[in-house]
Amino acid sequence: MSERDPLEGLRPAPVKQDFSQPFWDGAAQGKFLLQYCPESGKYQFYPRPVSVQTGKRNLEWREVSGRGTVYSHTVTYRSPIPVKGIKPYIVALVELEEGVRVMANLIGCPVEAVKIGMAVKLAWVKAGEDNFPAFEPA
């Protein structure tokens, strides 16, 4: 737990799907990779075994900017992570410039300062031993 990130050191390790391994490999190198469907020209998140647009298995992995805006948010007062005395923290639904939404913690932001539409940028945190996407005010 830190002032900047109340969940620091507390996030459970992700249980990974086989087809999402490139995401985790990219994360380990500090690269935010998303699946891209070449036929529709659309990105998608979370990783899937097929394009959600076409159902085909011709997805590519592309590095994205990590820039976006807050689409919605909620301040968590009762956490499912079993720790006593945890500070309230922000879960945001962030809309990336590439046109997908990512659910993530907004860190380095007082809970009363979060606003829909605010600009945010990627900030890696740890979930277990893995790099995991979070965001901070841009």
Contacts with other proteins, residue ranges (CB under 8 A): 7, 10-17, 20, 42-44, 46, 52-53, 71-81, 89, 91, 93, 95, 99-105, 116, 127-128, 132
Which residue, chain included where needed, has tokens 């968590």?
76
Closest to other proteins by CB, 127 or 137: 127
φ, ψ dihedrals at 120, nearest 5° = -135, 160
- Shortest distance in whole angstroms from residue 91 CB to other proteins: 5
Closest to other proteins by CB, 61 or 71: 71
Are the C-beta atoms of 105 and 125 separated by less than 8 Å? yes
Q: Name the nearest CA neighbour of 24 among 42, 5, 46.
A: 46
Buried b vs exposed e over 57-66: b needs ≥16 C-beta within 10 Å?
A: eebeeeebeb
Closest to other proteins by CB, 7 or 120: 7
HSE on the CB side for 131, CA within 13 Å? 17
Closest to other proteins by CB, 65 or 72: 72
- Shortest distance in whole angstroms from residue 113 CB to other proteins: 13
Are the C-beta atoms of 99 and 69 separated by less than 8 Å? no
- Shortest distance in whole angstroms from residue 29 CB to other proteins: 19
Closest to other proteins by CB, 4 or 46: 46
DSSP 28: H
- Shortest distance in whole angstroms from residue 34 CB to other proteins: 11
- Shortest distance in whole angstroms from residue 3 CB to other proteins: 17
